[in-house]
Amino acid sequence: MEIKFDITRPFEKDLKKLGAREKDRVVAALDRYAAKFDSTLDISTQHIYRPHKINMPEGLESSLYVLRVSPQIRVILTIEEDPLFDQKIITLFRVVKHDDMERTFNSIAESLYQQFRPRESDNG
């Protein structure tokens, strides 16, 4: 299976703020854990997990995860399987400090999945 990384601008900006050693750790963790993670099993591991369940409409699963790079560094990403093209697509959203992870994760989840939230009717 081919692995494709989609890198967002916020991820690039976050990565530039890190020192060389931390950058190397991020790259190594992505290669070692994210590239080998099987999202079809939906099992959290020591390094890849979901901080909490994201409520999605029936039949849909969130592909948003957190990769634990070190005790202080987290990468927020999606991992999706594309069986038609035999690809695993990993989208890298942010590199954050552990203390900022929850807020950033929730913000990304909100922006990604707002289209699936029930809308209030316009009945006045």
Q: Write down the mean pLDDT value for the chain.
A: 87
If DSSP codes are grouped into helix, strand and coil, which group holds residue 69? coil
pLDDT for 111 beyond 60: yes
Could you report the per-residue pLDDT of 26-77, keeping only the tens digit for each? Answer: 999 999 998 888 877 767 788 999 888 776 666 677 789 999 999 999 999 9
Closest CA to 75 of 9, 6, 8, 11: 11
Instruction: Kindly report the pTM of this predicted structure.
Output: 0.86
Instruction: Give the pairing type, strands 2-7 and 48-49.
Output: unpaired
pLDDT at 93 over 80: yes
CA–CA separation, 15 and 22 (whole Å): 9
Which domains, and CATH codes, for the chain? 2-115 (3.30.2310.20)
Model confidence at 122, in pLDDT bands (50, 70, 90)?
A: very low
Largest Cα span, the chain? 58
